[in-house]
A and B are shown apart, each in its own frame.
Chain A
Amino acid sequence: MASSRRGGRARITISLLLLSAVLLLTLDGRGSGPIQSVRSAVLTVLSPLGGAASSVASPFRNAWNSAFEQGDLKKENDALREENDRLKGDITANSIAKEQLQQLLQLVGIPFVGDTPVVHTRVVSGAVGNFGDRLELDKGSSSGIERNMPVVTGEGLIGKVVEVSENRSIVSLLSSGTFKVGFSVVGTAAIGIAQGTGGDASLRGSNIDSRQAVSVGAIAATSGLAGSPFPPNLPIGTITAVRTNEAALESTVDIKMFANLNDLVYADVVLWKPAS
């Protein structure tokens, strides 16, 4: 009897908790202000600790990575990596437009963002969860960073800012699939929408008019169409596969991101907002 009563109470408790979780999901889905505020507050408090822990744990982390990910040995120091990224960015931008290249060579910093100002940041910690990849940057609203601003490395677009506190920003990676980006295929009139597939640096592009000739090896860059949250011509990646559905007059593509998302050290936030 007592066991039955206890079981009944347990079921009620579990049901109430489940309903509470669904309620929270609904509030978050509607963009509830208090939830965002609490997340920002937690970020403000925990970020310095996370940064310090990341520095302290760095030698151990490198040893761990060496043991479990032999192909990802850290052979370059930070300065060389940043320089390397920048050079790769130059090469990528070269494919976007010859005229633009002349401008790119004159610019300092990440070239393909044109004259849009950027904030140079350092990645202080990586993802906490195992889904919805994110990065934490060492600068925030005090440097002019706002939510939804694009984040790039010298190689290309990596994500967008989703949380900001005074001195920290959280970036949701493009590969995570938490948001979509409009893209165009360089050298063609093809446009589509790309989204991460989760887990690695590959994207799936869809909604491409099948009458447009899209080939493997072509470069995908942000389209920057009206209403897009990203400026045009930010390199995204290389098309690695094309599938055409003749009946639906639609093509889908696989895109391999240019940016190496493993062991990111630096990232730049583009201080760009879509025209209202």
Chain B
Amino acid sequence: MDHPAVRYVLIIGTAAFLQFTLITQFRIAGVSADLLLVVAIAAGLVAGAERGAVVGFVCGLCLDLMVVTPFGLGAISGLVAGVVAGSLEGATVHSAKWLTASIAFISSGAAVLAFSVSGALLGRPDMLSFHVLTVVAVVGLSSALFVFPIIRVARWADPEDALLRTAVR
């Protein structure tokens, strides 16, 4: 139970459950928030790009199991979210809430674009329609909002990395 991997499995399982049962019920312009993406971003922010990539990959696989898009697209998307969040966080020299929210927004946008571009390359050109802009906006804003409580959860899962990165900063 103390190992970060076990804790992340619990977090990802809970996020997948909430995404499937609750989050998708509430949509703006047909688009819902993506809690699994927020978990990947939070892991990247708390423990760096590598951890973000691994957590994002697993989160994406969970999403892939629940949707009908090609299996693996969600994994790429989650991977991108975790890596971008971890890299941007590593490049910043100070911490601020607006900065964290901005990183969450940018990471989500990058993940959505990675998802739609990969889909288009795999023969789904419709995934690069104007609808993508709506998805980027809604998912980005919701991620910027949800990232703060999820960061607390990620710190619980990864206490050593969280402390180390805070100390380094």
**Chain A residues packing against B (C-beta within 8 Å):** 6, 9-10, 13-14, 17-18, 20-25, 27-29, 35, 38-39, 42, 46, 49-50, 52-54, 57, 60-61, 64-65, 68, 125-132, 134, 162-163, 170, 172, 176-178, 195-200
Listed residue (A17, A24, A42) with the most chain B CB atoms within 10 angstroms of its CB: A17
Q: Is the pair A57, B50 in contact by a Cβ cutoff of 8 Å?
A: no
Give every chain A residue within 8 A of B49 (Cβ-Cβ).
Answer: 10, 14
Of the four ranges (under 10, 10 to 19, 20 to 34, 35 or more), the interface on chain B belongs to: 35 or more
Tell me if B68 and A199 are in contact (CB < 8 A): no
* Chain A residues closer than 8 Å to B19, beta-carbon distance: 128
Please give me the residue from chain A that is nearest to B73 by CB atom: A25
CA gap between A131 and B19 in the complex, in Å: 15
- Docked CA distance A109–B46 (Å): 56
Question: Which of the residues B20, B50, B66 comes within 8 Å of A9, measured between beta carbons?
Answer: B50
Chain B 114-136 per-residue mask, 1 if CB under 8 angstroms from chain A, else 0:
01101100101111011100110
Among the listed B69, B76, B79, which residue makes an inter-chain contact with A131, where contact means beta carbons less than 8 Å apart?
B69
A101 to B115, CA, bound (A): 45
Residues of B within 8 A of A131 (CB): 67, 69, 115-116, 119, 127, 131, 135
CB–CB A60/B25 < 8 A: yes
| Interface of A, helix, strand, loop or mixed by DSSP | helix
**Cβ of B129 and Cβ of A199 under 8 Å apart?**
yes
B residues in contact with A29, CB < 8 Å = 70, 122
B22 near A21 with CB under 8 A, answer no
Task: For A172, list chain B residues within 8 Å (CB).
Answer: 68
Can you list 8 A-B contacts with CB-CB less than 8 angstroms, sorted by A residue number? A21-B72, A24-B72, A25-B118, A52-B21, A54-B25, A60-B26, A131-B135, A195-B126
B127 lies within 8 A of A177 (CB): yes
Contact B68 A14 (CB under 8 A): no
Question: Which B residues are in CB contact (< 8 Å) with A53?
Answer: 20-22, 25
Residues facing A in B90-111 (CB within 8 A) are none
User: Which 5 pairs across A and B sit closest by C-beta, in order of nearness?
Assistant: A177-B126, A199-B131, A53-B21, A24-B72, A25-B72
Main secondary structure on B side of the interface with A:
helix
Q: Among B27, B65, B130, point to the contact of A39 (Cβ < 8 A).
A: B65
A residues in contact with B53, CB < 8 Å:
10, 13-14, 17
> Contact: B25 with A21, CB < 8 Å?
no
Which residue in chain B gives the minimum CB-CB distance to A46?
B20
Central interface residue in A13, A130, A132, A178, by most chain B CB within 10 Å: A130
Q: How far is the CA of A49 from the CA of B49 in the complex (A)?
A: 34
CB distance from A228 to the nearest CB of B (A): 20
Considering only CB atoms, which chain B residue lies closest to A25 in the complex? B72
Contact assessment for A129 and B21 in the assembled complex, using a CB-CB cutoff below 8 Å: no
Partner of A163, one of B68, B79, B115: B68
Q: Are B73 and A14 in contact (CB under 8 A)?
A: no
Tell me whether B17 is interfacial, beta carbon within 8 Å: yes
Judged by a CB distance under 8 angstroms, whether B162 is at the interface is no
**Which chain A residues lie closer than 8 Å to B112 at the CB level?**
130
Is B68 within 8 A of A134, CB to CB?
Answer: yes
- The residue in chain A whose Cβ has the minimal distance to the Cβ of B115 is A131
Nearest A residue to B26, CB-CB: A64
A28 touches which one: B70, B127, B131, B139 (CB < 8 A)?
B70
